[in-house]
């Protein structure tokens, strides 16, 4: 029982990263119809930024947790204005190539300066201990990540469903043409939403720095699973991406724990789930079939 709870907890912690990344991808896809391949690179920049801030300027984790997402959001907005924006009217493949190219450039720039060897980043001292849950104890930092990620997801959900800004963004996301017909300037919202998605990726990166290897390829490894998560949740579905994020984290953890005698299954379980979901619901668990235009 204790083991099951621990594995569940761990699954949720991994899931928290998937959820934060998938949420960003989902809002970007919803608003711009752009599959942002560079999402993993921004996650990596978040972690690296935290490392650079700490070693070069002595900026602690807590400050980095604010500085990096905001800084990357601004960078994201600049990139949207400079490049992504110009290609949204063309075949989606163009933006696909653009963001893929951006990934390679960002990765290699970091590689050039810091090499491929992972860089050290310590857990902030306030979160270094462990929390006793009676049946088992758990690293404080992991508890913090889980709580923080849930808070961010709930916050985003609240903004999107309960505020006027959120209403406009949701309308722009789901029915851009119709929203435009109501006299709302959809274009004005595109850049901030892109920046916001990138900021979430940066935030996940900073959170990952103390517990994952910080190196130029850390995002490239993770992003493949995150794409599967987004597809399972339903492309563009905000709730779906978060739910699928946590769900996949759980499935992976349970798979590793209880299917360890079948490594082939436990290694590919995410994609097995994806295939099954797509057969059953081609638009993903919470996605809506595109109405014929």
Q: Which residues bind other proteins (CB under 8 A)?
A: 3, 6-7, 10, 13-14, 111, 115-120, 122-123, 130, 139, 141-142, 208, 210-213, 215, 217-218, 221-222, 224-225, 249, 252-253, 256-257, 260, 263, 266-267, 270
CB of 285 to other proteins, least distance (A): 20
Contacts of 5 (CB under 8 A, 6+ apart): 133, 135, 136
Q: How far is the CB of 123 from other proteins (least distance, A)?
A: 7
Tell me how long the chain is.
293
- Give the nearest distance from C-beta 108 to other proteins in angstroms: 8
Of 43 and 194, the one with the shorter C-beta distance to other proteins is 43
Smaller CB separation from other proteins, 14 or 241: 14
Identify which of 180, 198, 159, 193 has the alpha carbon closest to the alpha carbon of residue 76: 198
Residue spans of alpha helices (H) in 58-124:
61-79, 85-87, 92-114
The residue (of 167 and 259) whose beta carbon lies closer to other proteins is: 259
Residue 71 or 139: which CB sits closer to other proteins?
Answer: 139
Dist. CA 93–CA 101, nearest whole Å = 12
- Candidates 227, 169, 226; CA nearest to 31 is 169
Ramachandran angles phi, psi of 150, nearest 5°? -60, -45
Q: Which is nearer to other proteins, 127 or 283 (CB)?
A: 127
The distance of Cα 232 from the centroid of its chain, to the nearest Å, equals: 14
Which structure tokens are listed for 85?
């924006």
Please, which residue, 48 or 194, has the CB nearer to other proteins? 48
For residue 166, count CB atoms less than 10 angstroms from its CB and return exposed for 0-12, middle for 13-18, buried for 19 or more: middle
As measured in angstroms, the least distance from the Cβ of 19 to other proteins is 13
To the nearest whole angstrom, how small is the minimum distance from the Cβ of residue 116 to other proteins? 5
C-alpha to C-alpha distance for 139 and 119, rounded to whole angstroms = 22
Tell me how far, at minimum, the Cβ of 288 lies from other proteins, in Å. 28
């Amino acid at each position: 029982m204790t083991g099951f709870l621990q594995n569940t907890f761990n699954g949720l912690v991994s899931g928290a990263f998937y959820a934060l990344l998938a949420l960003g991808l989902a809002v970007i896809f919803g608003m711009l119809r752009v599959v942002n391949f560079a999402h993993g690179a921004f996650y990596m920049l978040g972690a690296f930024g935290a490392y650079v801030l700490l070693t070069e300027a002595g900026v602690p984790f807590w400050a980095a947790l604010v500085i990096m997402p905001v800084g990357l959001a601004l960078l994201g907005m600049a990139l949207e204005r400079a490049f992504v924006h110009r290609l949204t009217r063309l075949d989606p493949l163009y933006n696909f190539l653009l963001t893929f190219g951006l990934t390679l450039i960002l990765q290699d720039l970091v590689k050039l300066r810091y090499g491929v060897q992972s860089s050290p980043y310590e857990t902030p001292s306030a979160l270094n201990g462990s929390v006793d849950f009676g049946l088992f104890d758990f690293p404080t930092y992991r508890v913090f990540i889980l709580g923080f990620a849930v808070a961010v997801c709930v916050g985003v959900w609240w903004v999107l469903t309960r505020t006027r800004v959120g209403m406009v963004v949701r309308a722009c996301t789901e029915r851009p043409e119709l929203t435009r017909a109501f006299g709302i300037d959809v274009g004005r919202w595109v850049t901030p939403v892109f920046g916001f998605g990138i900021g979430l990726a940066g935030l996940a990166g900073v959170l990952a720095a103390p517990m994952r290897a910080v190196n130029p390829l850390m995002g490239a490894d993770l992003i493949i699973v995150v794409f599967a998560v987004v597809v399972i949740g339903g492309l563009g579905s905000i709730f779906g991406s978060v739910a699928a994020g946590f769900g996949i984290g759980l499935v992976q953890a349970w798979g590793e724990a209880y299917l360890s005698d079948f490594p082939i299954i436990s290694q590919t379980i995410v994609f097995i789930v994806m295939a099954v979901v797509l057969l059953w619901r081609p638009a993903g668990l919470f996605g809506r079939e595109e109405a014929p235009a």
